[in-house]
Amino acid sequence: MTTLLCDHADEAVAGIEDGSTVLVGGFGMAGMPVDLIDALIRQGAEDLTVVSNNAGNGDTGLAALLAKGRVRKVICSFPRQADSWVFDDLYRAGRIELEVVPQGNLAERMRAAGAGIGAFFCPTGVGTLLTEGKETREIDGRTYVLEYPIKGDVALIGAHRADRMGNLVYRKTARNFGPVMATAATTVIAQVREIVETGDLDPETVVTPGIYVDRVVKEADRA
Amino acid sequence: MNTTSRTVNDRGAADGGGGPLSKQAMAAVVARDIPRGSVVNLGIGQPTLVADHLPADSGVVLHTENGMLHMGPAAKEGEVDPDLTNAGKVPVTELPGAAYFHHADSFAMMRGGHLDICVMGAFQVSAGGDLANWHTGAPDAIPAVGGAMDLAIGAKKVFVMMTLFTKTGAPKLVPECTYPLTGLRCVDRVYTDRAVFDVTPRGLRVTQTFGTTLDELAGRLDLPLLAPEA
C-alpha cells in the first residue's frame, strides 16, 4: 500500500462520504489538524459522526464544522469548555447528539478497533451513568464493564513530520490521539509540518509506521 | 514560600488555630503528604496548585494524561510551545527525564496501577469514598467527564481536595452522593479547608482540623466521625 502525498488539503479530504465516522485528533489545539478540518468544511460531507476528545473551541476548526450543521453526533470525553459555545448552543437546541465517553475508554476503544480486538473488559466507570446498561463481569473480585471498539471511516490527524512513505513522528504532547487514531480508521489522513525524503527519519523514532497512513499533506504556512 | 504555607507546614499552628485554609494552604497540606519519588497526577483547577508546594528535591514525577511524564511548571512568557500543554490545555514545560506517549498508553499507565497518587476536585464525596465530580445532573448541564473516571479507578491512591461546604453552606462530605458518581469507593483521603479526612473501613477519620474542632465538624456534617488516632 502506498501513501499518497497531496499538494493541498482539499485533495487530501476528497471522497469523504456523507454519514462517515470521522476521528479527529488533537487535544485542545495541540495536534489539531486544522487544515484538514477546514478542507472537510469546503468538501461538504454531512451527517457526520465526529470522534474527538473535545467538541470544538472558539469558532474555528471543529467548531466551524459543527456550526455548518455537518455533524449529527459527537463522541467525546469533554465537550463543555469555556470556549465551546458552538457545541453548547447546538446541544441545548437539540440539534446534535452527544455520547460522552471517559477519556481513557475513548482512546482504548479506538486502540481496540485498530488492533483487531472485538471488545474488552474495563474497570472505568463501574456503577456510573456512563456504563448504565452495559454488560459487566467479575474478574478476580473486581467488576469490569464490556466496552466495544470505536472504528472510523476516516481519521484526520496532525503530526510533526512525515517521510514520503507516510511514516510519522510527533512532537511533545501534540502526539496525544494521533498514533491511536491512525490505526483505527479505514482512511487515515495526516497533516504535517514537514515532509522529508524517505530514509531521512530515524526508523527508531518513527511512532506511526507508514502502512497506517493513506494520505499526507503539508500544512499551510501560518502568517 | 509565602506566609500561609509556612503556617500550615507548622502543624501546631495549623491544627486548631486560625480559620479555614486558603486554596494555597490546602495545596501545601496535600503536598506535604505526597511521599518522595511518587508518580502523581494533579487534576485540573485547584489540584494543580499542589505542584507549587512540592519541595525542589521531592523527586515527585508529575504525569499529565494528555501524554507526558516529568511535566515541569507552567511556561513563562517566551517559553510557550503550542505542542506542550497540560491536561487543562495550559502551556507547560518539560523537566529532564521527560517522556511523551500517546493517549492509549497514558491511560493504560493509569489503569495498570502505575500512578501512585491522583489529586482531584469534587462536588461531593460520600462517607464510603464514592466520588462525584463530573456532572451536576442538572437538566441543562452538558456532561463532560474527561479523564476523571479513569483516574478514579486507576491511581493507587485518590486524594480529593475541596472546600468542605458549598457556598450556601451545604456539606460536600455526605452519607451518600446525590450528584452522579464518578467512581465507587475510590477515594482514600479528603483534604478540605476545615479538616483532613481518611476514608477507612470503619468510617471517616478526622486526621487534622483547621480552625475548628471534631465536635463542631460532627455538628455540621450529617456523618459519624472518628477521632484522630492517638
Q: For A54-69, how does the pLDDT look when each residue is reduced to its tens digit (9 = 90+)?
A: 999 899 999 999 999 9
Q: Is residue B40 part of a domain?
A: yes
Q: Select from B210, B200, B155, B206 the least CA-distant residue to B28.
A: B210
Q: Is residue B92 part of a domain?
A: yes
Q: Number of A:B CB contacts under 8 A?
A: 146
Q: Smallest Cβ distance to B81: which of A122, A124, A172?
A: A172
Q: A128 and A43 in one domain? A: no
Q: A48 and A130 in one domain? A: no
Domain CATH code at residue B75: 3.40.1080.10
Return the percentage of chain A with pLDDT > 90, whole number: 93
Q: Which of A124, A145, A219 to mutate to test the interface with B (most CBs of B within 10 A)?
A: A124
Burial of A221 per CB tally in 10 Å (0-12, 13-18, 19+):
exposed
Q: A167 and A93 in one domain? A: yes
Q: Is residue B84 part of a domain?
A: yes
- The pLDDT of residue A82: 86
Domain interval for residue B161: 3-224
- Distance from the Cα of residue B127 to its chain's centroid: 17
User: Is A112 strand, coil or helix?
Assistant: helix
Where does the pLDDT of residue A222 fall: very low under 50, low under 70, confident under 90, or very high at 90 and above? confident
- Tell me which chain A residue has its CA closest to the CA of residue B154: A124
Tell me the average pLDDT across A103-116.
98
Q: A143 and A97 in one domain? A: no
Domain CATH code at residue A201: 3.40.1080.10
Domain boundary among the residues A124, A149, A174 is at A149
Q: Is residue B153 part of a domain?
A: yes
Total number of domains in chain A: 2
Per DSSP (E only), the strands in A37-107 are 48-51, 71-76, 97-100
The residues of B annotated as belonging to the active site are 65
Give the ipTM of the model, two decimals please. 0.96
Residues of B in contact with A176 (CB under 8 A): 66-67, 102-103
Locate B10 and state its grid cell. 507548622
Q: Is residue A109 part of a domain?
A: no
Q: Is residue B88 part of a domain?
A: yes
Place of cell 507552567: B74
Tell me the average pLDDT across A208-222.
95
Domain interval for residue A83: 4-101+150-218
Question: Taking CB atoms and an 8 Å limit, are A103 and B153 in contact across chains?
Answer: no
Q: Is residue A128 part of a domain?
A: yes
Q: Is residue B229 part of a domain?
A: no
> A196: number of CA atoms within 13 Å, CB side?
13
pTM for the whole structure? 0.94
Q: A185 and A128 in one domain? A: no
Residues B125-181: pLDDT tens digits?
A: 999 999 999 998 888 889 999 999 999 999 999 999 999 999 999 999 999 999 999
Q: A78 and A19 in one domain? A: yes
Where does the pLDDT of residue A1 fall: very low under 50, low under 70, confident under 90, or very high at 90 and above? low
Q: A145 and A86 in one domain? A: no
Q: Is residue A33 part of a domain?
A: yes
Question: Taking CB atoms and an 8 Å limit, are B66 and A27 in contact across chains?
Answer: yes
> How far is CA B19 from each of CA B2, B22, B194, B210, B211, rounded to the nearest angstrom?
17, 9, 8, 6, 4
Total number of domains in chain B: 1
Q: Is residue B220 part of a domain?
A: yes
Residues B60-73: pLDDT tens digits?
A: 999 999 999 999 99
Q: Select from A58, A152, A51 the least CA-distant residue to A98.
A: A51
- With a cut of 90, say whether residue A223 has pLDDT above it: no
Q: Smallest Cβ distance to A180: which of B100, B102, B184?
A: B102
Q: Is residue B230 part of a domain?
A: no
Tell me the average pLDDT across A103-117.
98
Q: Smallest Cβ distance to B100: which of A129, A175, A180?
A: A175
